[in-house]
Amino acid sequence: MITRTEAARLIDHTLLRPDATLPEIEACVGEAVDLGVYAVCVEGRWVEDVVEMAWGTGLKVVTVCGFPTGEAGMGVKAEEAAMAASLGADEVDMVADLEAIRLGEWERLEREVAMVRVAIDDVAPGGILKVILETAALDMTAVGNAARTVARGGADFVKTSTGFHKAGGATVETVRLLHKYVGGRLGVKASGGIRTADEAVALLRAGATRLGTSRTRDILEGWAAEV
């Protein structure tokens, strides 16, 4: 049974719109603290500001690299992740090379994850690395292979989606598959299109250990006393 308070501690409250303003970021952080969520997730541009805003609240700071397409070179992603870690980000959500996954270039994907892993550890040992696979754009075989590869590369979590791809976001079927392949070794973050408490509950029951959403208040206000 998961209470509303427990559910909040599984959420990364997210604002990744490219046109977000500083007042909107401040409001997002304030809402995250008010709702009692685990973390707030913002673009790298805002990490330093958000670290300062969140100081003393217990709120974790998450940012992204290679976002939202994953097309940047692995060296660029590594530099971006290292910079974020140096500014105080607790966690980095990296968008994987989607074309490498589609082509089955598993060695390349593993090298990319490993390079970003090392970049974070050199600056902030113990920093959390999540890898976004954009699962809605893949078949289930590719999702399973990619999840296993990401685990070998040293990720802490596998994540479904950016929320920006036209193919869609998290599904119960995909989360269940990710949990099957890496659950217990890696966390599973479901993100993209999660708008209601019912959707959040279904994803958690399928094996998600973290949720990413900008609709946190709606989800938690719709939460039953226990589910």
Q: Answer yes or no: is 111 within a domain.
A: yes
Q: Answer yes or no: is 226 within a domain.
A: no
How big is the CA angle at 82 (ends 113 and 165), to the nearest 5 degrees? 55
Q: Whole-angstrom Cα distance, residue 90 to residue 129?
A: 9
- Please report which residue ranges of the chain form alpha helices under DSSP H: 4-8, 22-35, 47-54, 74-86, 98-102, 106-123, 140-153, 172-182, 197-206, 216-221
Q: Answer yes or no: is 66 within a domain.
A: yes
192: left (phi over 0), alpha (psi -120 to 50) or beta: left
Q: What are the CA-CA distances from residue 90 to residues 38, 102, 164 (Å)?
A: 11, 30, 23
Question: Residue 87 has what DSSP assignment?
Answer: T
Q: What is the pLDDT of residues 124-167, one digit of tens each?
A: 999 999 999 999 999 999 999 999 999 999 999 999 999 999 99
Q: Whole-angstrom Cα distance, residue 211 to residue 121?
A: 24
Residues in Cβ contact with 174 at an 8 Å cutoff, skipping those fewer than 6 apart: 135, 136, 140, 143, 160
Q: Which of 12, 130, 156, 159 is catalytic?
A: 159
Return the closest-CA partner of residue 159 out of 189, 114, 200, 136.
Answer: 189
Q: Answer yes or no: is 80 within a domain.
A: yes
Return the closest-CA partner of residue 142 out of 117, 114, 166, 177.
Answer: 177
60 is annotated as an active-site residue: no
Q: What is the total residue count of the chain?
A: 227
Confidence check: pLDDT of 226 > 70: no
218 is annotated as an active-site residue: no
Q: What was the pLDDT predicted at 140? A: 96
Q: Do 159 and 189 form a contact (C-beta atoms < 8 A)? A: yes
Q: Answer yes or no: is 34 within a domain.
A: yes
Reported as a pLDDT band with limits 50, 70 and 90, residue 224 is confident
Q: Answer yes or no: is 200 within a domain.
A: yes
159 is annotated as an active-site residue: yes
**Helix, strand, coil percentages for the chain (3-state, nearest 5):** 50, 20, 35
Question: Residue 225: how many CB atoms within 10 A of its CB?
Answer: 7
Q: What was the pLDDT predicted at 52? A: 98
Q: What was the pLDDT predicted at 1? A: 76
Q: Which of 12, 90, 93, 156 is catalytic?
A: 93
104 CB-contact burial (10 Å; exposed 0-12 / middle 13-18 / buried 19+): middle
CATH of the domain at 71: 3.20.20.70
Q: Answer yes or no: is 62 within a domain.
A: yes
Q: Which of 12, 90, 156, 189 is catalytic?
A: 189
The identity of residue 97, as a single letter, is: D
Q: What is the pLDDT of residues 1-14, one digit of tens each?
A: 799 999 999 999 99
Q: Answer yes or no: is 104 within a domain.
A: yes
Q: Structure pTM?
A: 0.97
Q: What is the pLDDT of residues 43-100, one digit of tens each?
A: 999 999 999 999 999 999 999 999 999 999 999 999 999 999 999 999 999 999 999 9
Q: What are the CA-CA distances from residue 200 to residues 36, 148, 159, 175 (Å)?
A: 16, 24, 15, 12
Q: What is the total count of domains within the chain?
A: 1
Q: By residue range, what is the domain housing residue 153?
A: 4-221
Return the closest-CA partner of residue 117 out of 128, 106, 108.
Answer: 128
Extract the tokens encoding 86: 């140096």
